[in-house]
């Protein structure tokens, strides 16, 4: 049998390869793109954090004001943003938004149903304090992870970590002055998160950097 012409053989291989690639593309079409959920998640985190923090700082006396926001905006919306981050293959974003969304739901439930849980009176401070300690530990390693993102997000996590530490000490030791300090730190955290959210929205619709976030190399 005569040997096949090398050029013909290469052409046959190319046709088979292209046909295979086309069939795979038809069977597994690319997933539709989704928008960046980070600005939404950061906005939900910022607003809820701000309301609770002005309560801690003594600007607002009605502690229950933050509960509806914690259930719906800070909680539900952040969890949804985290699910979309999973869709975007963003491990850091999905872990952060789902976790802090769950934090807000749990905290709201704690304040709303604390008595039914048997956590009242003198035991409420330490119970909340040790819970905040656990969240400080979580925020600590998320803060380390944020070091590879941008300066705006790093600022959010550094301030949040310090806020958790201060509020942990305030609740466990019952030092009201530290609780007020934690409130002001929380306000600073909320402002940093709002800025980062605003940068994501405004820079996206502008098609250029309007609000810099300080990307890390």
Q: Does residue 3 lie within any of the structural domains?
A: no
In whole angstroms, give the CA distance from residue 62 to residue 160.
Answer: 23
What is the extent of the structural domain holding 152? 38-206
Q: Does residue 9 lie within any of the structural domains?
A: no
Q: Structure tokens of 64?
A: 């229950």
Q: Structure tokens of 107?
A: 């905290």
* Cβ-contact 200, 39 below 8 angstroms: yes
Q: How far lies 87's CA from each of 33, 36, 37, 43, in Å?
A: 9, 10, 10, 19
As beta bridge partners, residue 150 has 215
Number of domains composing the chain:
1
Q: Does residue 122 lie within any of the structural domains?
A: yes
Please measure the distance between the N-terminal and C-terminal CA atoms of the chain and give it in whole angstroms. 60
Residue 146 pLDDT > 60: yes
Residue 57 pLDDT > 80: yes
Q: Does residue 29 lie within any of the structural domains?
A: no
Q: Does residue 17 lie within any of the structural domains?
A: no
Residue 202 pLDDT > 50: yes
pLDDT-based confidence at residue 8 (cuts at 50, 70, 90): low
Q: Select from 53, 50, 101, 99 the least CA-distant residue to 73.
A: 101
> pLDDT by residue (tens digit) across 106-130?
999 888 876 666 666 666 778 889 9
More confident of the two residues 59 and 28: 59
Q: Does residue 8 lie within any of the structural domains?
A: no
CB neighbour burial string for 61-99, b if at least 16 within 10 angstroms, e if fewer: eeeeebbebbbebbbebbbbbbebbeeeebeebbbbbbb
CB neighbour burial string for 113-128, b if at least 16 within 10 angstroms, e if fewer: eeeeeebeeeebbebb
Q: Does residue 215 lie within any of the structural domains?
A: no
Residue 145 pLDDT > 70: yes
Q: Does residue 214 lie within any of the structural domains?
A: no
Q: Who's near 109: CB < 8 A, 6+ residues apart? A: none
pLDDT-based confidence at residue 20 (cuts at 50, 70, 90): low
Whats the size of the chain, residue-wise? 217
Q: How far lies 38's CA from each of 7, 180, 191, in Å?
A: 52, 29, 15
């Amino acid at each position: 049998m005569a040997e096949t012409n090398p050029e013909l053989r290469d052409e046959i291989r190319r046709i088979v390869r292209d046909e295979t690639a086309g069939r795979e593309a038809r069977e597994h079409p690319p997933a539709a793109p989704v928008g960046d959920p980070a600005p939404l998640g950061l906005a939900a985190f910022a607003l809820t954090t701000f309301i609770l923090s002005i309560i801690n700082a003594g600007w607002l006396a009605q502690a229950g004001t933050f509960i509806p926001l914690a259930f719906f905006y800070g909680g539900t919306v952040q969890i949804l943003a985290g699910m979309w981050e999973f869709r975007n293959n963003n491990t850091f974003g999905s872990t952060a938004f789902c976790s802090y969304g769950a934090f807000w739901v749990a905290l709201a439930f704690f304040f709303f149903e604390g008595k039914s849980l048997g956590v009242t009176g003198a035991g409420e401070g330490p119970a909340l304090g040790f819970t905040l300690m656990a969240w400080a530990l979580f925020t600590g390693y998320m803060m380390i992870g944020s070091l590879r993102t941008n300066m705006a997000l790093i600022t959010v996590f550094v301030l949040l970590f310090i806020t958790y530490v201060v509020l942990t000490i305030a609740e466990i030791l019952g030092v009201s002055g530290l609780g007020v300090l934690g409130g002001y730190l929380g306000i600073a955290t909320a402002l940093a998160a709002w800025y980062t959210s605003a940068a994501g929205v405004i820079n996206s619709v502008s098609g250029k950097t309007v609000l810099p976030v300080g990307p890390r190399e």
